[in-house]
Structure 1
Amino acid sequence: MKYINYDGSVIMTGDRIAEALADYAAVLGANGRTDAVHVPTIGADGAIETSTVLVGPASELVLTQAPEDELDLEDPAFIRRLRDAAAKAGPEQPLNADGRAPFAGVDEDPQPV
């Protein structure tokens, strides 16, 4: 599980969902685009909810480890939609600290952890 810290709010979701959102935000930022993404999350009572996150060039998402839970939220269809959207967001790819484009393979299927 991961917490997504965003603009003073903290939401909890599955590892791969959080990582796909961060990847998508980076691609959108590189291409000067934004999107309102409806993210499957886990509420304080443990119920599955949806949180809307605006991502784009000014996004400052911080992912942190949440306590492990038997209910690691997974949503392969959501992750696939983000990966497909990232592939269509534009030609520019963000660079990591090594100068490489770490998200060049965003169109690949998410792999089990």
Structure 2
Amino acid sequence: MKYIHYDGTDVLTGDLIADAVADYAAVLGANTRTDTIAVPSIGDDGALERTTMLVGPASELVVREAPDDELEPEDPSFIRRLRDAAEQCGDQRPVNADGRRRFVGAAEDD
């Protein structure tokens, strides 16, 4: 599980979902574009919900580890939609200073 800190709020979601959101925001930023996404998340009451986020060049997201939970949300179709949208976003790719391969076009994540 991971938290996405967004606009003063912590959004609790699955590891792969949080990483995909951060990567997608970086691609959008590199291409000076924005998008509104409905992120699968866990509400304060523990129920699965969707949290709408506006992501793009001005996004200031922080992703950090959260306590593991057996109810970690997984949503492969949401992640696939982000990957596909990133591929359509433009030719620019964000700087990758940490050396890890980003999800966009990464075969190991397909």
**How high is the TM-score relative to the length of structure 1?**
0.89
Deviation, 1:67, is: 0.7
Give structure 2 stretches of 5+ with no counterpart.
Answer: none
Structure 2: distance between partners of 1:6 and 1:52: 10
Deviation, 1:96, is: 2.0
State the SS of the aligned residue for 1:79: helix
Which residue number in structure 2 is paired with residue 107 of structure 1?
105
Residue 46 to residue 84, structure 1, CA distance change in 2 (3 Å): same
Which residue number in structure 2 is paired with residue 60 of structure 1?
60
Q: How many residues align?
A: 110
Give structure 1 stretches of 5+ with no counterpart.
Answer: none
Structure 1: distance between partners of 2:86 and 2:16: 15
State the SS of the aligned residue for 2:19: helix
Deviation, 1:101, is: 8.7
Which residue number in structure 2 is paired with residue 75 of structure 1?
75
- Aligned-residue RMSD, C-alpha: 2.0
**How high is the TM-score relative to the length of structure 2?**
0.91
| Greater helix proportion | 2
Residue 69 to residue 84, structure 1, CA distance change in 2 (3 Å): same
